[in-house]
Structure 1
């Protein structure tokens, strides 16, 4: 058995393998509501050979959406639509399903990427954004309102309510987005958090509000229900979050009952300069795994089966998440199994394409 295709238990959930389809925004919802695109997209990925498929960043309140096209999970209509998607995927697919709960903070109210990705203009129905401090992400972006106590309380309650809805829908796990420059990352990073209250200042103080949200979610979940957090391993900019900060945050997350972290980077500072290359963030996941004593997931330009296998086999991470690779090849997990000499579940309608029953596969 290869490392990549070995099972892994997270809380009360056992994954068939260590391959994860990374949460990837589709910007295709209507007023937060999932539709036929999500059925087709996620239904395909549920048969990708991955042990886990994580639904894209899903806003916990309307103002937390990145764009008008973002998914939401904040009322009965958004819950019903996602419930239909989850039911479809579970009936037709083999992968476990997770959801990433998120709030975009000061990076909300912007155009879809193919529309330019800039802050929404006056004619595009923009909305007031919120953040730890009244600091715009970059030139030309909306200046957010610094969060007051009512905002802080509301956003905690929104995360908890969304988590309860996710459990009711039938998701197998939840991860909280605290990276990529979105709201919880904005509290953690000195680039975006200039508060002078209990939630700003030292690294310990900047962790306080994200930890409060995540602890509240943990308390609302059933015993053993898997909870993860996507964290920042580095802001990739001088003066920002460093790997040591990621270790400290991961340690605190483990203490409050978080089961795993996905270690990524950048997104909060427009001048970030990550060292882009194959599996370039796996070293961050390895450091957090070793020093914080928590399961980790690596992500970032992991493209080939050999790369993914090496990350897990060398102990850099317990899981690997791939995004673009699955967009390019929605059956990447099947390909990885063939290359590595492993087996992975596939629907019976596709069994004739398995290497064991199709000798031609060995000639490729």
Structure 2
């Protein structure tokens, strides 16, 4: 089996991957029923990155997958170099698959003289030669407008909801947003869970201090109920851990945390293991090393979703159809 699927002489699908999350790339290839094109990639002594593909990609529809995990700047640079190499190797189309979009949280200016780094990311990939972007659960939907071309915004919500349904009694569930800004997503969760009640944690944040916020109180009734606390990502875990404790202090029976991206920067594993959550559910859009694992952590595979979306794009199908109209 090769890394190329041939439908006819003009249409070929190729999957290549960087070094950031090889396990996910292999799972996506397995779901597609192919093998990846081998990529030679290594670092020079001064940190510069070298990339070369082991076989021709001329005329192919290429999907280049890289998760923007720590050390994030290294893997973003490798991703850009891979795109440039594909463009210079005469790939027909180049789709950048970034399960986690680096710098997505820097999507607007809070104060003067700040960058909009999420827009810069889109510009860099366009300049490198990308024709299309594909990502999962962008921090804000407006990021889709930063790229001058198609953007496939995939949703992990159906995957997470299907799992959570098996872990709770639906008649006694309240969906909780960790802050007012995520209410819209929490509302969609509540609808999918049969019209569950909704609550949110009132939170204050100092924009001059990264990764720090204060959870104050719960708005909504959570007493005696199983609560599902939903967010798009967990970084250092401070916001989520504090929100879990506030919800439990308000009388919740128990709390399950569900988030798409497990960034899990230190000391997230310790905070989440000690916060009182019954379970913390994430997907594998980012690699979770052994030192970030903890007993309450459950990791779901995002590979089937990515593979289906890649197949729809390659076959000129509808990516939106994967999400029952929620995409």
Identify the TM-score tier after normalising by the shorter chain. 0.3 to 0.5
Q: Tell me the TM-score normalized by structure 1.
A: 0.33
Q: Tell me the TM-score normalized by structure 2.
A: 0.36
The structure with higher relative contact order (CA 8 Å, sep 6+) is 1
Say which structure is richer in strand: 2
